Structure 1
Amino acid sequence: MTSIEMLDGDFATLPDLVRAHAAERPDAVAAADPLRRLSWSELDQLADRIAARLQQDGFTKGERTAIAGLNSVEQMAVILGTLRAGGVAGLVTNSATGEQMAAMIADTGARHLFLDSAAKASLAGQSIAARDLIAMDGSDAGAPLADWIAPKGTRPASVDIEPGDGFNIIYSSGTTGTPKGIVHSHAMRWQHIQRGAPAYGPDAVTILSTPLYSNTTMASFMPTVGSGGQVVLMKKFDARGFLELAERERATNTMLVPVQYRRIMALDDFDRFDLSSFVMKYCTSAPFPAALKADVLKRWPGGLVEIYGMTEGGAAFILEAHQFPDKLHTVGKPAPGHIAKVIDEDGKELPQGSVGEVVGRSPAMMTGYNNRPDATKAMHWYDGEGHLFYRHGDIGRIDEDGFLTLMDRAKDMIISGGFNIFPSDLEAILIADERVVEAAVVGMPSEEWGETPVAFVVLKDGADPESVRADCNAKVGKTQRISAITVVEELPRSPIGKVLKRELRDAYAG
C-alpha cells in the first residue's frame, strides 16, 4: 500500500508510513540536524536496527523506553524504533532538574534510557531507575548507539499495533512529587497526522526548534513525517540562526511559540532574509498577542495558523489568521470533529456567548495520566447525553461565529516561553524555606517570555529576599525560575482564606 493510500485510510501507524516513504522515495532527505542528514531509506533502516535490538533485549509490546536529550536525528530514530518494536516512547523533559528527570524516567518503568551528554550532565548525582543506558550522540553517557544497535540489514519481528495502543508519554512540568505523564495512543497521533497532512506533504521542509519531548513540536512533527516531508531539527533556538537556517533550507513550514515569534520579528534585519518559500507557519502553547499576529502576517510570507488546545487533548481550536484578520483577538474555532462548550463553577453548561470554563471532546484525547487515575478523573466532565469532555481549566467565551476568546486561566497556570509552570510547585519550595512565612506566585506579563513567575512572600525578620529567590531557583528547572520577588506584610485573602492572586497581580502591575 502506498503512503497516499495509507493517509486516505481509516488508520495507519507512523512506523508504517515511514516504511512506505522509504520504499517510494528512498534517497529523499527525511531528517536533518546540524550534524547529519538521513534519507528515508537510512531512517527506516536505523529504526529497524533499534527496534530489533530492543526485541533482542526482551522488549515486548507495550513496554516503555525513556528518551532524554537535545533534538537530533538519532532521537527521532529512537522514537520510531521504539514504536516499531511495539513500545511506548517515554519523552523526558530535558530542561527539567536532574531530580525531576529521574522521577520521569522512573515513572516510565523503562529498562532502556536513551540519552546524550546534555542529559547526562543534568542527571549527575541522581539515581537512575533504567538498567541500560544508550548514548544517542556517541558520548560517554552510555553505550554508543552505533555499537548498541543490531547489525545492518536486521529487521525486527512484526508487531500488530492497534489504534488504542500507547504511542508516547509526555510529562507535565512539576517540582514536587511525581510529574504527570500524559499517555497518547496511536489513534490520537493518527488524528494529528491525518488532520495536518494536507498542509505538509512530500515537498514540505519543516523547521522544528522546540524540543521533541513537547506536544508543541509533535503538532508539526507528526504530519510532516506522516506525509513524507523533511524535518529539520534545531538543537537550540536563536532568532537569527533560525532565519539563516530557514533561508538556506528553503523552509515551507514551522512551529514556533509566541516568544520565538516576538524575538524573530524584533530583529533589525528581519526583512533582509528571503522567506518566500514559506507556505504555512504555526503557533501554540502560550497567549499569542493580536498585534504580534498582525506583524507576522504583514511581514512574513505564507499563512499563519494558531492552535489552542491541551497536551491531554479535548477540543483543539484553530485560527487561520490569514483568513480571519478580524479575529486575531481569538484562538479560532474548534477543529473539524471537535466539540467545545463552556460551563459554570457548578459544572452546568452555559449558553453560547457566556463566560465560563472551556470543556472539549474530540477523537484526539489522551488515554490518561500514567499511574494517576485520580488526576485523570479530575479532568472529566460529562454532558447531558453522557459524552466525555475534558476540562481545559481555562476561562473563555465562544462568540456567535464559534470563535473562542480566552479570558483567564482557572488554575492560575503560568505559560513562560511556551512551557507550563504551576505556581503551587514554586510556592511549595518557598514555604519549605525556614525564612519564609507565606508565599504566593503569580504570572506577570513579560516582553521576553510572554509571562514570567513573580513571587510575593512574607519573610521572617532579617531574611534577604534575593537570597530566598536564588535558593528557590537553584531547585527548579531553568524554565521555572522566579524572575522577581516582592516582600509583603501579609497576603490578601478572601473571607474563606483563599489568596487573592488577582489583587497581587494588580498591585505589582501598578
Structure 2
Amino acid sequence: MESIADQLAQPFGTLPDLIRRHAAEQPDKIAITDGDDELTYRALDTIMDRAAAALQRDGTVQGQAVAMVSYPSVAQAAVFLAAVRAGSIAAPIQPSATPEQIAGMIADSGANLVFLDAANAAALAAEQLAARVIMLEDLAAWLAPEGAQPAPAEIKPDDGFNIIYSSGTTGIPKGIVQSHAMRWQHLSRNSGAGFDTAVTLLATPLYSNTTLVSFLPTLAWGGTVVLMKKFDAHRYLELAQHYRATHTMLVPVQYQRIMALPDFDRFDLTTFRFKTCTSAPFKAELKRDVVTRWPGKLVEYYGMTEGGASFILVADEHPDKLHTVGKLSPGHEAILLDDEGNEVGPGEMGEIVGRSPAMMNGYHKREGATRDAEYYDADGNRWIRHGDVGRIDEDGFLILMDRKKDMIISGGFNIYPSDLEAVLAQHPAVADCTVVGVPSDDWGETPVGFYVPRGDAQASAEEVRAATNAKLGKTQRLAALYVTDELPRSAIGKVLKRELRDQLAAGRFGGTAA
C-alpha cells in the first residue's frame, strides 16, 4: 500500500479519504482535542459519517454551504469536516461580526442549516436567520444513528471545499470560495513539515485561513490538533507544555504577547519543531526574539486567502532578511505592477500580483468583485491581485510596504504608513502604534498616528509626535497623534484602520490630539 506521502503526492485526492485511512491505520490516536472534548481518528471518522448522513437527511445537497458560528471546538471541527465529506461546502462565520452581518453571511452562503454554540446563539437570538438552527451542544442528538453512512459524494477538483468570509467593518464581507483542488495543494506541499507526528496547538479561529493552513494539513498527515477556544498568552504556554506541542500557527500580536510574559523562559518548549506566522506585519525585532528564545524553526508565510503567490521566510536560516517576508514558494509566480499596469523592474515598488496552483474559484455571488481581483496577462493566464505594495530585493526576497488601499496620497506624494509606523514604534514611550490617512483640505490626505503608551511612559503625545516627525521627511510628517488604550484588531491580529478612521470622525479622540 502506498504511503501517506505518496498518496498526497498524487495530482488530486480528498481530505475525508485521508481521515478514513488514518481511522483504519491509527484508530486510537487523538485527532482533535479542545481541552474539554477529544476525538480519536476512529471516532472522528464515525462522527463525520453520521453528521454527513444527517446533513443529507435534512436536505443539504452537494455543493450547498453548511454554516457554523462558533468559537473553536471539537464539535465545530467535526461539523466542518462532515460537510466536506458530504460534498457540501463548509462555511465557518466569524462570531466577532455584528448580528446583522452574521445573518447576512448565512443568507449569502445559501446554507439551509447553521450550527451555533451557546455563546453565539444568545447574541443572535433576535436575528431572523435564513437557516434552521442546530445547537452544537445538542450535536449528539442531531446525528444520524450509529452506523449510518452518507450517500457517497463524487468530488471533483473544482468543487467548493469551503467559503471564508473576508473580514470587514461595514456591509457583508465577501465570501472567498476555495476548491478541493486548492486545498489539496495546501495539504500536499507540506511534505517536509513533519505534520505526521505533529501536535499542533492552534489559538486562532476556524473561520480563518490562517488556522486552516495548519489545521487541515495536521489531519491530512495524521497528527493531533489542539484547539484553544480563546487565546490567552499564559494559558497558551501551559497548554504547549502540557501537550508537548511540536507545531503552531500564531499571528504577530500573539507572538508579541507571549514573548512579553515575564515568566516565558520557565516553560519547557523544547518539543517545538515548527512555528509559523501569517496574516499581519511581523516586526523584524520580534522575529529575532522568537528565533533566539523559542526552540524550533520559525517560518513566516505571506500570501492571500484568495490564493495567488505565496512567499516563505525561514527566519532562523536568514537572520539578515528578517525585514522581508521571504522568497517565492516553489511553483508560484509573482510580478509587480505600477499604477498603469506595467511590470516594474528589479528593486522597484509595485502592486503584487501572483499566480499558483492554489487560487480561489472566486468570490461567492460577487462576479464584479472577482473580476476586480483578477489580472490576465497577454497570454491569457489568470493571476490574483494581492492589493499589497512591495519590492523584491536583489536576492529575491519580498519587502512589503502596505496595502495599496492604505497608501496615503498627500499633495501628490505617495506615503506608506508602514514607513511612519516603523519610526513611531522606535520611541520608548510607544508600546503599539499605527498610522492612517485622513481627508485634508490642503493636501487631499494627511497621515495621522495612534499609539498605545507604555505603562511607564513619561513623554506626552506632543513630545512623541515631535520626536517622530524629526526623523521623517517633510511630506511624511504626522499631522496629529492620538493616544488610545488599545488598537482595534481582528481575531487574527490585523489592525482595523477603518474603525480608527470612523472613531476619529465621530469625535472619539476629541481632545487627545497632539
1:411 is paired with a residue of what secondary structure?
A: helix
1:44 is paired with a residue of what secondary structure?
A: helix
**Structure 1 position 151 matched with structure 2 position 152:** no
Distance 2:67 2:129 in 1: 11
1:177 is paired with a residue of what secondary structure?
A: coil
> In the superposition, relative to structure 1, how do residues 440 and 48 fare at CA in structure 2: closer, same or farther (>3 Å)?
farther
One-letter amino acid of the counterpart of residue 166, structure 2: S
CA apart distance, 1:59: 2.2
The number of aligned residues is: 446
CA apart distance, 1:446: 5.8
> In the superposition, relative to structure 1, how do residues 384 and 69 fare at CA in structure 2: closer, same or farther (>3 Å)?
same
Partner of 2:124: 123
CA apart distance, 1:439: 11
Q: So what's the TM-score if we normalise by structure 2? A: 0.81
Distance 1:265 1:146 in 2: 40
Q: So what's the TM-score if we normalise by structure 1? A: 0.82
One-letter amino acid of the counterpart of residue 306, structure 1: E
Partner of 1:454: none
> In the superposition, relative to structure 1, how do residues 484 and 88 fare at CA in structure 2: closer, same or farther (>3 Å)?
closer
2:262 pairs with one of 253, 262, 268: 268
**Structure 1 position 233 matched with structure 2 position 230:** no
> In the superposition, relative to structure 1, how do residues 447 and 62 fare at CA in structure 2: closer, same or farther (>3 Å)?
farther
**Structure 1 position 38 matched with structure 2 position 39:** yes
One-letter amino acid of the counterpart of residue 12, structure 1: G
CA contact (8 A) 2:33 2:39 kept: yes
1:402 is paired with a residue of what secondary structure?
A: coil
Partner of 1:492: none
Partner of 1:19: 20
CA apart distance, 1:440: 9.8
CA contact (8 A) 1:208 1:233 kept: yes
CA apart distance, 1:242: 0.3
User: Which runs of 5 or more residues in structure 2 are unaligned?
Assistant: 408-416, 419-433, 439-443, 455-483
CA apart distance, 1:174: 2.3
Deviations 1:34-54 (A, max 9, x none): 211110000000010000111
Partner of 2:377: 383
Deviations 1:151-180 (A, max 9, x none): 111111111111110000001122433320
> In the superposition, relative to structure 1, how do residues 443 and 17 fare at CA in structure 2: closer, same or farther (>3 Å)?
farther
Partner of 1:461: none
**Structure 1 position 368 matched with structure 2 position 369:** no
**Structure 1 position 212 matched with structure 2 position 206:** yes
Distance 1:288 1:338 in 2: 22
CA apart distance, 1:443: 7.4
CA contact (8 A) 1:197 1:223 kept: no
One-letter amino acid of the counterpart of residue 94, structure 1: P
Deviations 1:124-162 (A, max 9, x none): 3111011x21111x2xxxxx2111110111111111111
CA contact (8 A) 1:205 1:252 kept: yes
CA apart distance, 1:11: 1.2
Distance 1:386 1:173 in 2: 30
Distance 1:397 1:164 in 2: 33
1:203 pairs with one of 193, 197, 205: 197
- 1:461-472 to 2 correspondences below 5 Å: none
Distance 1:362 1:396 in 2: 19
One-letter amino acid of the counterpart of residue 134, structure 2: I
Distance 2:38 2:270 in 1: 24
- 1:56-75 to 2 correspondences below 5 Å: 56-75=57-76
Runs of 4+ off more than 4 Å: 438-448, 477-481, 483-489
Identity value in percent: 55
Partner of 1:222: 216
1:12 is paired with a residue of what secondary structure?
A: coil
One-letter amino acid of the counterpart of residue 225, structure 2: V
CA contact (8 A) 2:5 2:191 kept: no
**Structure 1 position 108 matched with structure 2 position 109:** yes
Partner of 2:352: 358
Partner of 1:135: 135
Distance 1:251 1:31 in 2: 13
CA apart distance, 1:121: 2.4
Partner of 1:256: 250
Partner of 1:399: 393
Deviations 1:51-106 (A, max 9, x none): 01111123221111111101011111101110111100111111111111111111
> In the superposition, relative to structure 1, how do residues 8 and 374 fare at CA in structure 2: closer, same or farther (>3 Å)?
same
**Structure 1 position 281 matched with structure 2 position 275:** yes
CA contact (8 A) 1:200 1:223 kept: no
CA apart distance, 1:407: 1.4
CA contact (8 A) 1:112 1:134 kept: yes
Distance 2:371 2:63 in 1: 23
2:338 pairs with one of 341, 344, 350: 344
CA apart distance, 1:483: 9.3
2:368 is paired with a residue of what secondary structure?
A: helix
- 1:80-95 to 2 correspondences below 5 Å: 80-95=81-96
One-letter amino acid of the counterpart of residue 107, structure 2: A
One-letter amino acid of the counterpart of residue 404, structure 1: L
> In the superposition, relative to structure 1, how do residues 446 and 290 fare at CA in structure 2: closer, same or farther (>3 Å)?
farther
CA contact (8 A) 1:254 1:281 kept: yes
**Structure 1 position 179 matched with structure 2 position 179:** no
Distance 1:75 1:440 in 2: 45
CA contact (8 A) 1:49 1:156 kept: yes
**Structure 1 position 246 matched with structure 2 position 247:** no
Distance 1:64 1:118 in 2: 22
CA contact (8 A) 1:369 1:375 kept: yes
Partner of 1:300: 294
> In the superposition, relative to structure 1, how do residues 303 and 385 fare at CA in structure 2: closer, same or farther (>3 Å)?
same
1:5 is paired with a residue of what secondary structure?
A: helix
> In the superposition, relative to structure 1, how do residues 486 and 160 fare at CA in structure 2: closer, same or farther (>3 Å)?
closer
Distance 1:97 1:441 in 2: 29
One-letter amino acid of the counterpart of residue 116, structure 2: L
CA apart distance, 1:484: 9.3
